[in-house]
C-alpha cells in the first residue's frame, strides 16, 4: 500500500501545525470520542484510543444533560484549555430548536453550560452541530436546520462565536452550494480549500464538496456511492492519522455498525469501510479530537534489545530463516539463538519518531503479505513504510505494541508463535498477543 501523506491543518489546530508524524518518545497520540449510545440517547460515554481504532471506555455516562436528550455530540479543545461539546438536544421525533453546550477540564467530568436557541424563523429542528476552528482561530459550529414548512429537509448553517467564552453567536448563515436536503455536514480546511462531507438525505449517501470560503459557494463533486461506503451512512467525521492519512468515521445506521475508511490522496480514493472493533453497534454519531499527550511509550534508539512476549514470557522475537517467530529462549540457548533474538532499535525509516529494527546481518524487520520477516533495505519508500512501526502502550508494565506505519490499526501480533501484522479486533487477547517488552539483549 503506497502512502501519499497530505500536509493539513487539523480540526482545532491553527495554521503552521507540524506535518502529521508519530508521537515522539515519551509522548502518545490520544484520540477522544464522546458518543451517545444506541441504547440510550440521554447520556454520553467517553472513549479514547492511541491509534484511532481500538477505542477503550474511559467513563460510562460521563455527561447527562439536566433536561432533554444528548445526541450527535461534537468535541474540541478550546484555547482556554477546556474541552467543549455541542450536541442535539432532542430525540429525532421531537421539535428541536436548540443545541446544547457543556465543557470539561479533563474530558471525563462535564458541566452543563446552556442550551442555545438557533435564531432561524420557523425553525423546526437544529441537529448535529459540528465544531470547526478556522485558520484565523475563529470558532464555528456547523448545524443542520429544517423549517416547519418541511421538517425533514435540512440545510447546513454556520454559527460563528463572537466571544472567547463561546456564549455569543453570529446570525446563522446557510452554506451556499450544499443546499437543502443535506445533513451532518463536517468540514476540514487544507491550505486554502474547505472540504465538506455531508449526507444527502434523499440518496442516503455521504457526498463531498469543496469551496474557497467557509460559507461557500461549495461545489459538490462526488455523489452516490463514490467512495464505496454504501448507503444509509451518516455522521461523517474526519481526523488525520499519525502517518498523514485522513480517516473518516461514519455511522452505518442502516446496518447498526460504525465504520472507518482511510484516504492517502486527499480524499480521492478510500480504503474499504471497516467496522470499528469493540464499539461498533454501541456508539452512535461522534466526532474525534486528536492530541499529543505526555506519558507515552519510550524506547531508546541505536541500542540492542530483545523483545519478550507479554503473555508468553519465556518466548522472544527471533529471526528464523528470515522470518520473525516467537520461540522459547533461555540462558542455556545457543549463542546463535541468542544472536538471532537480538535486534538493534533505530529511528523509523519512514518516520524518525517511529521505530525500525535491524537483525545482526543488517536486514530490517518489515511486513510482506502481512508476515513479519527480515529483508535488505532496497531504498524504496514502500520498503521504508513496511519497515516502520509506531510504538503504542502495551498491556503490561513496560510492554509496547507496534502498529504498522502504513497499515494503521494493524499490529505485530503472534499467532502459533509466528509474528504477523494483523488488524486489531478490539479484544483483550489481541492486545496481549501484540504486546512485547523490550529487555536486555540476549547477545
Residue 213's pLDDT is 98
Residue 16's pLDDT is 26
Q: Does 6 score more than 90 pLDDT?
A: no
In 244-285, DSSP assigns E strands to 246-252, 257-263, 274-275, 283-284
pLDDT in tens, 71-88: 999 999 999 999 999 999
CATH of domain 27-294: 2.115.10.20
Q: Does 133 score more than 50 pLDDT?
A: yes
pLDDT in tens, 375-396: 999 999 999 999 999 999 999 9
Residue 266's pLDDT is 96
Q: Does 11 score more than 70 pLDDT?
A: no
Residue 4's pLDDT is 26
pLDDT in tens, 169-226: 999 999 999 989 999 999 999 999 999 999 999 999 999 999 999 999 999 999 999 9
> Partners of 139 in the beta sheet?
133
Please give the mean pLDDT across all residues of the chain: 94
Q: Does 2 score more than 70 pLDDT?
A: no
Residue 417's pLDDT is 98
Where does the pLDDT of residue 318 fall: very low under 50, low under 70, confident under 90, or very high at 90 and above?
A: very high
Rg value, the chain, Cα: 23
Residue 19's pLDDT is 52
> Is CATH 2.80.10.50 correct for 303-440?
yes
Residues of the chain with CATH 2.80.10.50: 303-440
Residue 9's pLDDT is 27
Distance, CA of 232 to CA of 109 (rounded, Å): 33
Threshold 0.95, pTM exceeds:
no
- In this structure, what are the phi and psi dihedrals at residue 431, rounded to the nearest 5 degrees? -65, -35
Where does the pLDDT of residue 5 fall: very low under 50, low under 70, confident under 90, or very high at 90 and above?
A: very low
Residues of the chain with CATH 2.115.10.20: 27-294
Collapsed DSSP state (helix, strand, coil) of residue 131: strand
Dihedral sign for Cα 356, 359, 364, 365, please: negative
Q: What is the mean pLDDT of residues 83-108?
A: 97
Distance, CA of 279 to CA of 12 (rounded, Å): 24
Residue 17's pLDDT is 31
* Residue % of the chain over a pLDDT of 70: 96
pLDDT in tens, 334-372: 999 999 999 999 999 999 999 999 999 999 999 999 999
Where does the pLDDT of residue 18 fall: very low under 50, low under 70, confident under 90, or very high at 90 and above?
A: very low
Amino acid at each position: 500500500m503506497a502512502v501519499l501523506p497530505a500536509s493539513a491543518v487539523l480540526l482545532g489546530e491553527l495554521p503552521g501545525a507540524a506535518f502529521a508524524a508519530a508521537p515522539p518518545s515519551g509522548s502518545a497520540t490520544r484520540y477522544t470520542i464522546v458518543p451517545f449510545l444506541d441504547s440510550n440517547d440521554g447520556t454520553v460515554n467517553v472513549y479514547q484510543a492511541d491509534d484511532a481504532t481500538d477505542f477503550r471506555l474511559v467513563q460510562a455516562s460521563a455527561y447527562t444533560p439536566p433536561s432533554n436528550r444528548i445526541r450527535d455530540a461534537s468535541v474540541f479543545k478550546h484555547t482556554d484549555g477546556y474541552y467543549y461539546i455541542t450536541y442535539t438536544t432532542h430525540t429525532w421525533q421531537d421539535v428541536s430548536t436548540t443545541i446544547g453546550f457543556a465543557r470539561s477540564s479533563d474530558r471525563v467530568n462535564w458541566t452543563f453550560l446552556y442550551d442555545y436557541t438557533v435564531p432561524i424563523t420557523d425553525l423546526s429542528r437544529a441537529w448535529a452541530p459540528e465544531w470547526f476552528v478556522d485558520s484565523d482561530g475563529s470558532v464555528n459550529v456547523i448545524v443542520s436546520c429544517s423549517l416547519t414548512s418541511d421538517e425533514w429537509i435540512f440545510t447546513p448553517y454556520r454559527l460563528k462565536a463572537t466571544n472567547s467564552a463561546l456564549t455569543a453567536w453570529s446570525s446563522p448563515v446557510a452554506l451556499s452550494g450544499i443546499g437543502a436536503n443535506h445533513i451532518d455536514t463536517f468540514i476540514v480546511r487544507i491550505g486554502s480549500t474547505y472540504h465538506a462531507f455531508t449526507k444527502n438525505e434523499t440518496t442516503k449517501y455521504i457526498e463531498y464538496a469543496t469551496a474557497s470560503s467557509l460559507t461557500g459557494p461549495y461545489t459538490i463533486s462526488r455523489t452516490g456511492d463514490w467512495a464505496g461506503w454504501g448507503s444509509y451512512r451518516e455522521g461523517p467525521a474526519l481526523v488525520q492519522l499519525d502517518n498523514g492519512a485522513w480517516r473518516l468515521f461514519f455511522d452505518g445506521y442502516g446496518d447498526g455498525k460504525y465504520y472507518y475508511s482511510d484516504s492517502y490522496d486527499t480524499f480521492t480514493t478510500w480504503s474499504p469501510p471497516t467496522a470499528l472493533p469493540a464499539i461498533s453497534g454501541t456508539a452512535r454519531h461522534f466526532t474525534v479530537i486528536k492530541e499529543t499527550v505526555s506519558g507515552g511509550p519510550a524506547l531508546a534508539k541505536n541500542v540492542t534489545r530483545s523483545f519478550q512476549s507479554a503473555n508468553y514470557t519465556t518466548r522472544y522475537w527471533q529471526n528464523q530463516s528470515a522470518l520473525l517467530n516467537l520461540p522459547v529462549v533461555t540462558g542455556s540457548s545457543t549463542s546463535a539463538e541468542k544472536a538471532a533474538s537480538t535486534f538493534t532499535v533505530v529511528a523509523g525509516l519512514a518516520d524518525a519518531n517511529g521505530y525500525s529494527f535491524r537483525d545482526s546481518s543488517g536486514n530490517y524487520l518489515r511486513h510482506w503479505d502481512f508476515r513479519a520477516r527480515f529483508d535488505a533495505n532496497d531504498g524504496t519508500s514502500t520498503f521504508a513504510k513496511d519497515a516502520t512501526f509506531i510504538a503504542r502502550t502495551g498491556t503490561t508494565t513496560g510492554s509496547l505494541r507496534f502498529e504498522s506505519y502504513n497499515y494503521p490499526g494493524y499490529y505485530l501480533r503472534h499467532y502459533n508463535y509466528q509474528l504477523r501484522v494483523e488488524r486489531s479486533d478490539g479484544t483483550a487477547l489481541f492486545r496481549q498477543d501484540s504486546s512485547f517488552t523490550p529487555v536486555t539483549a540476549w547477545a
